Structure 1
Amino acid sequence: MTNIAILTGRLARDPEARTTQSATNVTGITVVTDRPARDKDGNTYKDENGYTAKESEFHRVTCFNGLAKTVGQYCSKGQLVSVQGRIHYTQWEDKDGVTRYGTEILADKVDFLSRGNGSGENADNKDAPGID
């Protein structure tokens, strides 16, 4: 049995990097993917500009250790990336005692398919290949 997720999309915001108390690097990114929107009959349709309408989905992705450092250093909002990893489900209890559920992708590999959007120093680095 296999649990593999592959996403290609743009970063919705700049990466959020942190280090745990046990010195593990962790970086979170949000990858936005698009797919054609469909009407109630299952047909695609055009938006007001004449383009095929799209629906966007936002995916939480978490990177660890060396991958986390590289993604945190070289990625920025708007950048096109391809992520390979596995789907991970979490469950926790919030401060009000309500059970909450979450889904994220734990990344094994992130390929940089474009440079950042030019808003930060990361966007100018030409030596930032995808990292396994």
Structure 2
Amino acid sequence: MFSINVMSQTCRRMTRLSSVRFNSGAVTETTAIEKTINQVQLLGRVGADPQKRGSEQHPVVVFSLATHTNYKTDGELTQKTDWHRVCVFKPNLREAIYQHLTKGQRVMVNGRLSYGEIKDDSGMTKPTTAIIADDIVFFQRN
């Protein structure tokens, strides 16, 4: 019983640690803001040449990335492919991707997940998921 209480007190202190401020020698506590992580790392092949989208004020380069999972069903090897939409907003990375990335090329994408909605012509909304790229590593073409 004692160790559980000590552990929960330690966890509460750790949460509050990031919110302690020092003002001229005095320590004051503010409301705790928890740290969160939204991180994605994908290794796969580009599905189509990148496309420029967005506007002049908010340009973006978009491409699809295929990853797959191998598994056995009834002793037979099966492969399931997942498709990911990758969006590149960073100016230098965006231009490098648009100029040098091609369909079929193998790349590793580091970024974060983003969720949104798209309205179609009939007014229906469709949920979307995209990876916002922070870094992309090109692999040599064979």
Q: Give the TM-score normalised by structure 1.
A: 0.72
> Equivalent of 1:9, from 41, 44, 55?
44
Q: CA deviation at 1:94?
A: 2.3
In the alignment, structure 2 segments of 5+ residues that lack a partner are 1-35
Q: Normalising by structure 2, what TM-score?
A: 0.67
In the TM superposition, what is the alpha-carbon distance from 1:97 to its structure 2 partner?
2.0
> Which has the larger share of strand?
2
Query: Over residues 26-65 of structure 1, what are the superposed CA-to-partner deviations in whole Å (9 max), with x where a residue is unaligned?
Result: 11111100101354xxx7x42xxxxx32110010000012
| Alpha-carbon distance in structure 2 between the residues aligned to 1:26 and 1:38 | 39
1:75 counterpart residue number: 101
Q: Deviations over 1:81-124 (max 9, x none)?
A: 00000000002332212121100000000000123x7xxxxxxx
Report the counterpart of residue 55 of structure 1 in structure 2.
80
Q: Partners in 2 of 1:4 and 1:10 — Cα distance?
A: 19
Which 4+ residue blocks in structure 1 deviate beyond 3 angstroms? none
* Sequence identity percentage: 31
Greater relative contact order, per chain length (Cα 8 Å cut-off, separation 6+): 1
Equivalences, count: 106
Which has more radius of gyration? 2
Distance (Å, rounded) in 2 between the aligned partners of 1:56 and 1:69? 28
